[in-house]
Structures are given as structure tokens and as C-alpha cells.
Amino acid sequence: MADVERVICASEALADCGKGVRFELSTHSTGFAVRHFGRVRAFVNRCPHGGTELDWQPGEFFEESGLYLICSTHGALFEPGNGFCVAGPCRGASLEPLAVCERAGQVILLDRVRTNRNPTARSDD
């Protein structure tokens, strides 16, 4: 499976514990990136409880204290560092993480090319 890097946004677009940036992963899903205590984190924008997107307004992923990501549908709270749900109907589940890095003032997504592969097929990743 090939790895493809692509720019999500400029690094300065992500303020610490502030508004996040949404981006398209495929025709049926989006991802989001946020900055938390200086580090950029990215996840698939889908709550493990009901499959709904987290943000209540585009880019609004943090609850008001800035400590947790929140699902707008049922109020589940997630740790921004790892996506682990600490409260709400999906407690113990996690958001699906996406690999990101910052380079030359840009936030870069390492996006694995998605295919409809046989789930039992071997991958040499």
C-alpha cells in the first residue's frame, strides 16, 4: 500500500486548544486536525458511538475548557492526545487516529491510499 503525503493546512491555522481544521479523507468521510499543548493531532471525524461527526460547528472540536474533544451529538469526551473516550456513551472506545507531522510551516497528513482490499490479505507495510 502506498503512502501519500498531503498538506492539511498551514501550521499557524491551528491555535493551541482552539478551532480545528476539517479535511476530506474520501467521498464519505472527513478527518480533522487540532493542536493540543503544542502538538498537532488528527483523527477521523467520526464518533465511535453513533458514527456522527464530532464538531458542532465546522472546526469546533474542543469543549469550552479546551481539555477534551467533544462529540456534538451525545457529549462524549475524548483525550486530544490519543482519542480515548473518557466520558459518555462510548467510554473506553477511541477515535481513529491519523498520522500527521509538521514540516516547513505546514501540517502534513500521511494518508494511506484506501482500497477495498480483502481484509485477510497480507500487507507488507
Q: Is residue 11 part of a domain?
A: yes
Would residue 120 count as lying in a domain? Answer: no
pTM (2 d.p.): 0.84
pLDDT for residue 66 = 92
**123, part of any domain:** no
Residue 24 forms part of a structural domain: yes
Residue 50 lies in a domain: yes
Does residue 32 belong to any structural domain of this protein? Answer: yes
CATH number at residue 20: 2.102.10.10
In this prediction, residue 118 carries a pLDDT of 36
- Asked if residue 22 belongs to a domain, the reply is yes
pLDDT value, residue 123: 34
Q: For the segment 9-64, what is each residue's pLDDT rounded down to a tens digit?
A: 999 999 999 999 999 997 789 999 999 999 999 999 999 998 899 998 999 999 99
Show the domain range for 99. Answer: 3-112
DSSP E strands, the chain: 3-10, 21-26, 29-36, 39-44, 69-70, 77-78, 85-87, 97-98, 100-103, 106-112
Number of domain units in the chain: 1
Is 125 a member of any domain?
Answer: no
